[in-house]
A and B are shown apart, each in its own frame.
Chain A
Amino acid sequence: MITIENVTVRDGDTLRLDDVSMTLEKGVFAALVGESGSGKSTLLRVLSGFLPFAKGKVSVAGISLAAGATPEATKVALRRACVLVLQDANLFPHLDVTTNVTLALRHVCGLGAQEAEARAHATLDRLGLAPKRTAMPESLSGGQAQRVALARALVLKPKVLLLDEPTSALDPKRKVEIAAIFREQAEAGTTVIAVTHDEGLSNAAHARYTMAAGKLTDA
């Protein structure tokens, strides 16, 4: 599902990713750990087409990326299959929780208003956000906002789910619940990569990768 071959990312003189190679099968839940600045988030951004790479080859959900700039159309196609959840929730502050979740469903997946809403509500309920369906983002706590951000991605049922510190703002009980949801998602066929510092989450993963100074040191 995901193949990374000898990918190098430069930022001026600094090597953000140094000859990274990795393969992940469909339905795998992988945790990516390592110190801050070791290149974990950079790898996620390369996989979702936000960051061009200098050398190497990438293939995600059947879409190939080459070194250098990626055409806009390829990026859009890539992101339909492979959704990235950023570390900050970045909820759209002018839309309520349900509309935050339905926006991509309607405009990316082309769902009708009612169907999109039904799916959004199901996902929100699963993440324990049923009482917050009509809340505005400004009224949510950090943990609730993070879960809405997850709901926004999960509701799209992507082939690949890329998560940047998805549990950083959650309390311990929620962390366990969310880890279980990722596992479920993987078992249903989604390939999940979670960048995390959370032991519980990395323990729940099928595989664990460690990065240091832009290199993959341990699989």
Chain B
Amino acid sequence: MRSKMKTAPRTFDARVDRAIFMRLRAHLVGRGGSVSAENDASHALPSDTKAPASLPCGGRAFREWKRSSPSTLGRLGRVSARTCLVALTLLPCALVTVLTVPARAEGPLLVPDPGLARISRTKVLRWGGDVQGGEPFVHENAKGERVGFEVEIADGIAKRLGAKAEFVQNDWSNLVPSLERDSFDVVLNGFEMTASRAKRVLYTRPYKTYASRLTVRANARLPATREGMAKKRIGSLSGTRSFEIVRESGGEAVPYEGCLEPYIDLEQGRIDGVLLDDLIAARYSVGRKGLVVAGDVEQGNYAVATKRSEPGLRDAVDRALAEMESVGELRKILERAKLWEARDERLLTWTAQDQARALGQPVRETESDGGIDGGAGPPPTISALPQAPEADEARFDASRFLLLVRAALVTLSLSLAGMAIAAPLGLLLACARTYGGKTLAYATTTYVEIMRGTPLLLQLYLLYFGLAPWLKLPAPAAAVLALGMNYAAYEAEAYRAGIQAVPHGHVEAGLALGMTRLRVVRSVVIPQAVRLALPNVTSDFVSLLKDSSLVSVITVVELTKQMSITAVDVRAWGGPGLACAILYLAMSYPLSRLARRFEKKAKVENVEVET
């Protein structure tokens, strides 16, 4: 027993600062929980066991590590996921290379934990989250300050690490890749403990228990079971555990980016139910007419996650959480946020076995459950848990590529339908502006300026959510309509330029033959204007094809959205990103060629007209 205890200090010395370890040892010895200590040693991380007995430690090791560390790659900066996406389509190949590097740079094993080293150097604990997740997690108050129970937890952890907590905003569904590229040190944002994620990150003990809650319309009578959700349209936040549950149960998972929108859509009857964490359901479904809780489908826990290459940081954060739990600080934080529930008591006696169960890992049956003292003493540590092997079963294979192809068809049909509205509406607007007299010209100019002067994203939101109380458009219809109406403004200008380019002599010639003005416009001007505008309209179609990716905000899963879903599934952006780029190019390149051909043809005709 004693000798086993001795192996532990050496390994920790190598990676963690001594003070923390001493406190930990005092902790373990003090409560006499030798079982936990044994667990810690026997479940030691592979990296621990490889560490030689005579490792250099302290400041010198730090400085050496700093010189030799290859993992500073992530210091590239805190680039948002969206920027990442843009870069991805531009330089897919380069990015694939970049993305694969962090996976290989699995922490220098013979030096102190890079995460801890970084934090002790910068005195800052960067924690990643998404304020769009809103209350009660992290959100902004009226003064623009970040508030929420997780802010307090982050502060508590940072304080114990001798650092200052610093929030880093990041798109929720991309928290893991951003963590890996070192946009921040830890993920702390309603990040559920799941077996699949445990292959990608290291989890600390949980700080809050939640339940996946099914909310339905009162008249729906949908049972809160997986069977009940099968073949139903169930809304959830994309990338969450709840979203995964819907997919597992055979329901049609409708992805949302914010907490409020799914409940709006449920109220409007666009979806059959919403499966989201009870913390969210309690806040965002209230006050919506006719919505009732069907029940909870699954219970889970939120924990802090670190990079796989930084087990030392994970251990340190875990110990900080354990202390916050044992001194009652966590409970106070949760109580202040009115979130403390009886089930959270369980967190105070959290054991390594609980951790293993929460992450779907095998539990050693021979050992007794952790809380042997009946939860009386301070909580045991879970620091040296067996870790899941690297993710390898979720690959970007042919079937996933097929999903992308299917999504590309969605993109194509949305774009075609959008253009089928934009082209004729644009022509109508151009004619109204040119021939319709002052009032019509003014009205169409206003329309064109509004549509071109405001973001398509905003128009989508307004059309889908803003008009919902009066006009319940299904998501694909709203998407097509928004794309069509927005692009009509651009087409109107293209056609107007075409109309103006028709030589006045042609109009006079038509009139001189006795045709009415309307007939001349119909038979002489418009056919020519359409031909002249064709190159511009075609290249606008290419833009529309790309802009159609925006409609994912109103739950339509098109190519880009499918790519990000696939990327989260397979935990890599390179392959899906490259495939996505190729599919976009396969659709847009022929169109660009066509546009160029029209342009050449128009030029030839125009030269003939001029001479």
Contacts from A to B (Cβ < 8 Å)? 48, 50, 72, 75-76, 79-80, 83-86, 88, 90-94, 103-104, 107-108, 137-138, 149, 152-153, 156
Please, which residues of chain A bring their CB within 8 A of the CB of B506? 90, 92
Contact A83 B605 (CB under 8 A): no
Contacts of B512 in A (CB 8 A): 48, 50, 79, 83-86, 153
The one of B513, B517, B531 in contact with A152, judged by C-beta atoms closer than 8 angstroms, is B513
Chain A to chain B: the 6 pairs with minimum beta-carbon distance, closest first? A90-B509, A104-B513, A138-B608, A90-B505, A84-B512, A80-B514
Q: Are A104 and B503 in contact (CB under 8 A)?
A: no
- Minimum distance in angstroms from B1 CB to a CB of chain A: 95
Question: In the complex, are the beta carbons of A104 and B515 less than 8 A apart?
Answer: yes
Question: Told that A76-B516, A94-B531, A137-B608 touch, could you supply 5 new A-B pairs with CB distance under 8 A?
Answer: A50-B508, A75-B511, A90-B503, A90-B508, A93-B609
Q: Please report the C-alpha to C-alpha distance between residue A50 and residue B511 in the assembled complex, in whole angstroms.
A: 9
Q: How many residues of B contact A (CB 8 A)?
A: 23
Is B204 in the interface zone, CB < 8 Å from A?
no
The verdict on B604 contacting chain A, using a C-beta distance below 8 Å, is yes
- Decide if B505 touches A83 in the complex (CB within 8 Å): no
> Are A86 and B513 closer than 8 Å at their CB atoms?
no
Q: Is B523 in contact with chain A by the CB < 8 A criterion?
A: yes
Could you list 20 examples of A-B contacts with CB < 8 Å?
Answer: A50-B511, A79-B513, A79-B514, A83-B512, A85-B512, A86-B512, A88-B505, A90-B505, A91-B509, A92-B528, A94-B531, A103-B523, A104-B510, A104-B513, A107-B515, A107-B523, A108-B513, A108-B514, A138-B605, A156-B513
**B524 CB-CB contact with A under 8 Å:** yes
Residues of chain A contacted by B609 (CB below 8 angstroms): 93
> Shortest beta-carbon distance, B312 to chain A, in Å?
75
Rounded to whole Å, the gap between the CB of A168 and the closest CB of chain B is: 15
Chain A residues closer than 8 Å to B604, beta-carbon distance = 138
| In the complex, residue of chain A having the shortest beta-carbon distance to the beta carbon of B531 | A94
Q: Contacts A79-B514, A107-B519 given: A86-B527 contact, CB under 8 Å?
A: no
In this complex, what residue of A is CB-closest to B504? A90
Docked CA distance A79–B510 (Å): 10
Q: Which residue of B lies closest to A73 (CB)?
A: B516
Q: Which residues of B contact A76 (CB under 8 A)?
A: 514, 516
User: A94 CA to B527 CA in the complex, in Å?
Assistant: 7
- Contact A83–B514 (Cβ < 8 Å): yes
Contacts of B514 in A (CB 8 A): 76, 79-80, 83, 104, 108, 156
- Chain B proximity of A81: nearest CB distance (Å): 8
Cβ A92 vs Cβ B513 within 8 A: no
Most buried by B among A50, A108, A156: A108
Bound-complex Cα distance A156 to B503 (A): 23
A146 CB to nearest B CB, Å: 12
Taking CB atoms, residues of chain A closer than 8 Å to B519 are: 107-108
User: How many angstroms from the CA of A153 to the CA of B528 in the assembled complex?
Assistant: 22
Contacts of A88 in B (CB 8 A): 505
Chain A nearest CB: distance from B416 CB in Å? Answer: 25
Whole-angstrom distance between the Cβ of A201 and the nearest chain B Cβ: 20
The closest CB in chain A to the CB of B505 belongs to: A90
Q: Is the CB of A94 within 8 A of B528?
A: yes
Cα distance A137–B511 when bound, in Å? 19
Give the residues in chain A near B508, CB-CB below 8 Å: 50, 86, 90
